[in-house]
Amino acid sequence: MTDLAYLPATEALRLFRSRELSPVELMTAVIERAEAVEPRVNALSERTFEEALLQAKQAERAYRDGSPRPLEGLPVAAKDEQPIAGRLATDGSLAHATHVAEETHPVVERVLAAGGIIHARTTTPEFCCAAFTHSRLWGLTRNPWNLDYSPGGSSGGSGAALASGTATLATGSDIGGSIRLPASATGTVGYKPPYGRVPAMPPFNLDHYCHDGPMARTVADCALLQNVIVGPHPGDVVSLRPAVRVPDRLGDVTGLRIAYAPNLGDWEIEPGIAANTRAVADALAAAGAIVEEVEVGLRRADVMRAAFIHFGTIFGPMVATVAAEHGDRLTRYALAFAAETRAAAERDGFLAGLEMEAAIYAVIGALLDRYDALICPTTGAPALRAGEDYVDTKLTVNGVELDHYMEYSLTTVFNVASRCPVLNVPSGRAASGVPTGVQIVGRSYDDATVFQVGAAIERVRPWTSRPEAL
């Protein structure tokens, strides 16, 4: 049998049902793995292992009685940003170190109702406002594939937990790439659902850049968790009716027209990532898709400007409010984020930002009118260096120094085009050993197609889940 700590969720459920594996055995393996690797990785902000083992025994009884729920007995790590009533809700900040949540996030609510066991919560950068994961509250989270690198952010703890075998499934959230960037950097699968597909909590449920979604090690596992958390919720007015679920049978791309974009415009793309993206395109052609190379023609400066205006009207002011009272307790990167985004909003104004967003989506919308899906790199460079906050240091990609480190990411385009579903799957490895990723972008609200494409890539070009570094 596969190392239990890396057992796919779908396989674990099959073995639970056949009584060949107990939820207690799986939970024990995951806990033992966490105890072995966490001192080096530091992906878990909170552990409730004793409680999880008791719940695993209850799950064992559910299988014996023939009444298991969809996630019965699976160890699920929840992103710390998603609150659980009665538990700490810190946002990764010393300023909120003693805050206790009064409500439970709808995603966590649904995981628990489906029998998933929240055995741990996962680290984030402070206020989830960075593409790396370290904070003054929790310290430095490292990439299991190469400990000198970050697992990405802001769902970096979730990605690192999956890659290090300390969770079977994990939850994430994405406002500028915060699911896809960690998935890319850790060799895992992460899904940014289209806006409104998965319920969230106010006020950020009303921010069309914001998405909560699933993370896993396989496409089928990601679909499994997505199908549990999807659907309307009475606390979220923008959550969509009816619930649209990913089909069980995945991987047939015969005849699908897929646009292959080596670049979305003028992003710097390192040769290794370009080669890995090309290999994914070739794999899809081998799987029966009609793959055509396209030029998208966006400018990264326009995307960054639109995003910073947007952040400066909603997300940035939230951070700035905390900074006004607790500035000496905040990280430099959170203070810089608040200042930079507020300046962008004050300089250009919300209307200008919306006009720029419309122009960006016009390009993506026209392209997806001609193709069933689009594939492109998730980032232009592999994972960021662990512990670097890029406040004083510039990031160089492909020999070019970027104005802002987030310009290495191609994810934010699809927070602007927020109704497009996007699935990250692994595309290969960089010379550093760190994984790279590819984004599969679908037409607005066409969830099924991106999972079909992802499953086809996985079948033709499978990836390994376990890092050699641990």
For the stretch 433-460, pLDDT in tens is 999 999 999 999 999 999 999 999 999 9
- Residue 175's pLDDT is what? 97
Identify the burial level of 54 via C-beta atoms within 10 angstroms of its C-beta, where 0-12 means exposed, 13-18 middle and 19 or more buried.
Answer: middle
The share of the chain scoring above pLDDT 90, in percent, equals 99
Region 419-424: what's the mean pLDDT? Answer: 98
Non-local (6+) Cβ contacts of 239 within 8 A are 106, 196, 197, 198, 199, 200, 205, 231, 232, 233
What is the sign, positive or negative, of the torsion defined by CA atoms of 116, 132, 88, 25? Answer: positive
- Residue 468's pLDDT is what? 87
The DSSP bridge pattern shows strands 117-122 and 75-79 to be: parallel
| pLDDT exceeds cutoff 60 at 1 | no
HSE toward the beta carbon, residue 341, CA cutoff 13 A: 23
For the stretch 275-288, pLDDT in tens is 999 999 999 999 99
Domain range for 344:
4-460
Determine phi and psi for 261, rounding to 5 degrees.
Answer: -110, 105
CA dist list (Å): 128 to 5, 23, 232: 27, 32, 25
| pLDDT exceeds cutoff 60 at 67 | yes
Instruction: Give the C-alpha separation, 171 to 212, whole Å.
Output: 8
Q: Give the closest residue to 222 by CA, choosing from 60, 470, 453, 467.
A: 453
Instruction: Give the C-alpha separation, 425 to 105, whole Å.
Output: 26
Provide the 10 A C-beta neighbour count for residue 233. Answer: 18
For the stretch 371-411, pLDDT in tens is 999 999 999 999 999 999 999 999 999 999 999 999 999 99
Instruction: Give the C-alpha separation, 410 to 407, whole Å.
Output: 7
For the stretch 144-174, pLDDT in tens is 999 999 999 999 999 999 999 999 999 999 9
Q: Tell me the catalytic residues.
A: 79, 154, 178
Identify the burial level of 366 via C-beta atoms within 10 angstroms of its C-beta, where 0-12 means exposed, 13-18 middle and 19 or more buried.
Answer: exposed
Answer whether residue 148 is part of any domain.
yes
- What is the pLDDT confidence band of residue 326, given thresholds at 50, 70 and 90? very high
Q: How many domains does the structure of the chain reveal?
A: 1
Determine phi and psi for 374, rounding to 5 degrees.
Answer: -125, 140
| pLDDT exceeds cutoff 90 at 469 | no
- Residue 357's pLDDT is what? 98
Instruction: Give the C-alpha separation, 62 to 59, whole Å.
Output: 5
CA dist list (Å): 111 to 75, 231, 326: 10, 13, 34
- Residue 221's pLDDT is what? 98
Answer whether residue 466 is part of any domain.
no
Answer whether residue 468 is part of any domain.
no
Angle between the 332-348 and 300-313 helix axes, to the nearest 10 degrees? 100
Q: What is the CATH number of the domain that holds 68?
A: 3.90.1300.10
End-to-end CA distance of the chain: 20
Instruction: Give the C-alpha separation, 74 to 56, whole Å.
Output: 8
Region 254-273: what's the mean pLDDT? Answer: 98
pTM greater than 0.85 (yes/no): yes
The DSSP bridge pattern shows strands 396-397 and 400-401 to be: antiparallel
| Tokens encoding 370 | 């001609």
Non-local (6+) Cβ contacts of 243 within 8 A are 230, 231, 232
| pLDDT exceeds cutoff 80 at 2 | no
Instruction: Give the C-alpha separation, 262 to 277, whole Å.
Output: 7
Region 107-134: what's the mean pLDDT? Answer: 98
| pLDDT exceeds cutoff 60 at 470 | yes
Answer whether residue 200 is part of any domain.
yes
The H-or-E segment that residue 357 falls in is helix 350-370
